[in-house]
Structure 1
Amino acid sequence: MVETRRGTHTNGAAVDKEKPARSEKIEKTGKPSHKDSATSEVKEETRDIRHTVEISDNAAAGDKHGRSQSPEVGRKSQKNSHTTASIRAHQDEEPEKREEEDAAADDDTPGVLEKGIIYFFFRARVNTDEPHSLADVARTYIIVQPRSEEGVKHSSSGHCRLLALPKKVLPQTGRDRFMAFVLKADASYTELESEFLSGSEPEKQTGGNANASDQAERHYPAATAFGEGVYAIIGTSRESHLVYVLNLPEKLGAVQKQLGLTNQRGSFIVSAKNPAFPMPGGAKMVGGGPRYPKEIQDSFRSLRWVPLRPEHIDYANSHVLLIGESKGTDSIFTDDRVGRELSAEVEELADEDIDRMRRLGSTEAEAVFASLHAKDQAEGQPELAKTFG
């Protein structure tokens, strides 16, 4: 059992004792800015990915021969045999060392590779200022903001990664395998506000041969927040998991459930795609794929997919496959010592985030946008759980 400010925690479960104060829903309006420039939708991945670690250990063995010798020759032979034995003993250490290294590489003990703050957004379809269902959603987005031991990295500028999910919904079971790609790998708060969070003024759109009566106004709605919390990328030698704990909204609504956030805590298996291989079904990688440096590209070896590591999503146009986990965080936050320690680490981060969000705004939307240094964008935003009415 782990005592946190959120309550007594056992086997990865937490009971909230306190939550930020809430305020009433306010009327939603748009804010002018650039158009959403997200690229076209990629196809759903259907190939089963299972990562294996190959271990080979080749040890050389020599023949031993015994032969009767004279005393002098025997002494020389004995001396040589001691020297040879010493050399062989030294050589024998290398296979043993390789075995230890291979065993370490094959260690499936999970560990936290990265942790930080996570935000969930969607953008409504063109000219849709009041979305009422999933049909009114154009695309879903995830923002992850890593933390170091000292806190959020480069907090004055942002250091945020913006990922787009063309399928709009998050995967929930192992049958759900949805692709996401990195739109921005190191976005500043200013970039996020001007190029993503804000909408655009209505503008005239006219067809090639259209007359004035055929003109129509097109308005791109601002991004709408529907979730905020903390995350951790937890990895083993064979797979990686993206675990999240929601702090906002306090109670899930229709928008969260329709977009795949069905629980306050969840987990996805996450894999990075090797850009050296073509996309399934002949599709092209968004933006031509990431431009990894040689050391990252070489780490893929000949595999099409590898367990996601933070450095994979530090490059724009990198592609990530998310696979749902029916057990949620229970697949990681197990009853053993390691599972309990991982759970306690994430819960501690969640508790700190609750305290931080309380100080940022009197409403959920205000706190989320203030956290991204875009407090003005909260004007007209509904509370996170009430987006679909």
Structure 2
Amino acid sequence: MAEPGQERETVVLEEGDIFFLYRPRVEEEHPSSIGDVQRFEMVLRPHGGEKVRLLVVGRKRLPEAERHERHWGFVEAIRHSAKGIEKELRERRYDTGTRGERRRPAARPAGEGVYAITLEDGQMHLSYALELPEKPGQVQKAFKIAPEASYALSIKNPEKGKPVNAGLREEDEADYPEKLQEEFRGRRFAREDVGLLDFKGAEFILIGARSNPESEYGHDLGAEHENYEHAETIRRLRMVKSRHPVKPLLEGGWA
């Protein structure tokens, strides 16, 4: 850790586009509160990278930075393009043995911006700044999507067990190659290697750290105001309004 009065050492590990999304509960056509939501998700699209990550965040919202909340999450899918991730977010229909056909609604975009994963004195931090919506609304407030925030990011060692009734099943956890598994060095969490997120089933902890990361860490995230025409959610994730209601992204209201 840095001594009092010393500047903290910041190393940028990764930068890219970040997208926040929510998926309504099965058969919920018109969600109007977080109680109508099944999952809260994030997509990380690194600049110049070959992998795009779809992450699920526990408690269906981001941790509050000021309260230093801790939220668990996991990597749901890894794809080689943003278009491939969008297919995971579409409406699904499936048959059940007792209730007939069921419908899982498509995900709704709730925010987009830019992010950086930095290493601060041996601890990774995920920081972001919103570009859309221009003014956060009731949806962003429900999911605690602030205009900007930073979280300490630690990745769980799948060989160290888990608390009772918590985390993924053993068969769903990340299966790391031996070389990457060594990154944990026998610890419960790794805090330095962002590459550990590049595996389906990777589990992580986000801890609220800062509400003003750009000024606190001295790193300009490069956020710019966007509109529908230039929205990365539409251009990169192909989340057109014919499949995904975009009102939460543009106006901050439920859809």
Q: Of residues 133, 136, 139 in structure 2, which corresponds to 1:255?
A: 139
How far off its partner does 1:200 sit? 2.6
Q: Distance in 1 between matches of 2:36 and 2:101?
A: 18
CA distance in 1 between partners of 2:235 and 2:89 (Å): 12
Which of 181, 184, 206 lines up with 2:77 in the alignment? 184
Residue 208 of structure 2 is aligned to residue 324 of structure 1: yes
Deviation at 1:324, TM superposition (A): 1.2
Query: What amino acid maps onto 1:179 in structure 2?
Result: W
Partner residue in 2 for 1:126: 26
User: Aligned match of 1:309 in 187, 193, 206?
Assistant: 193
What residue is the counterpart of 2:4 in the other structure?
A: none
Contact 1:245 1:265 in 2 (8 A): yes
Q: 2:215 aligns with which of 311, 333, 357?
A: 333
Q: Where does structure 2 lack aligned partners over 5 or more consecutive residues?
A: 2-6
Contact kept, 8 Å, 1:162 with 1:187, in 2: the verdict is no
In structure 2, the residue matched to 1:382 is 247
Question: 1:177 offset after TM fit, Å?
Answer: 1.1
Secondary structure of the residue that 2:164 maps to in structure 1? helix
TM-score normalised to structure 2 length: 0.85
- Which amino acid is the alignment partner of residue 115 of structure 1? E
Residue in 2 that maps onto 1:89: none
CA pair 388-288 structure 1, distance change in 2 beyond 3 A: closer
* 2:18 aligned counterpart, secondary structure: strand
Q: Measure the CA separation in 1 of the matches of 2:69 and 2:244.
A: 35
Q: CA deviation at 1:274?
A: 1.1
- Give the drift of 1:329: 2.8
Any idea what SS the aligned residue of 1:373 has?
Answer: coil
Task: Give the match's secondary structure for 2:212.
Answer: helix
In 2, are the aligned partners of 1:198 and 1:377 still within 8 Å (CA)?
no
- Distance verdict in 2 for CA 1:200–1:110, change over 3 Å: same
Which has the larger Rg? 1
Which digits, 9 at most, give the CA deviation of each residue in 1:220-239, with x for residues without a partner?
A: 11000000000000113431
Per the alignment, in what secondary structure is the counterpart of residue 375 of structure 1?
coil
In structure 2, relative to structure 1, the CA distance for the partners of 1:108 and 1:293 (3 Å cut) is: farther
Determine whether 1:279 maps to 2:162. Answer: yes
Per-residue deviation, residues 31-54 of structure 1 (Å, max 9, x unmatched): xxxxxxxxxxxxxxxxxxxxx8xx
Report the Cα offset of residue 123 of structure 1: 0.2
Counterparts in 2 of 1:134 and 1:110: CA distance versus 1, 3 Å: same
What is the CA-CA distance between 1:187 and the residue it aligns to? Answer: 4.3
Contact kept, 8 Å, 1:369 with 1:378, in 2: the verdict is: no
- Structure 2: which amino acid aligns with 1:218? R
The 3-state SS of whatever aligns with 2:175 is coil
Report the RMSD for the aligned CA atoms in angstroms.
2.6
Q: Offset of 1:376 from its aligned partner?
A: 6.3
- 1:220 aligned onto 2:104: yes
Structure 1 unmatched ranges of 5 or more: 1-51, 53-106, 208-214
Contact persistence 1:108–1:238 (CA under 8 A)? no
Aligned to 2:117: 233
Q: Which has the higher helix share?
A: 1
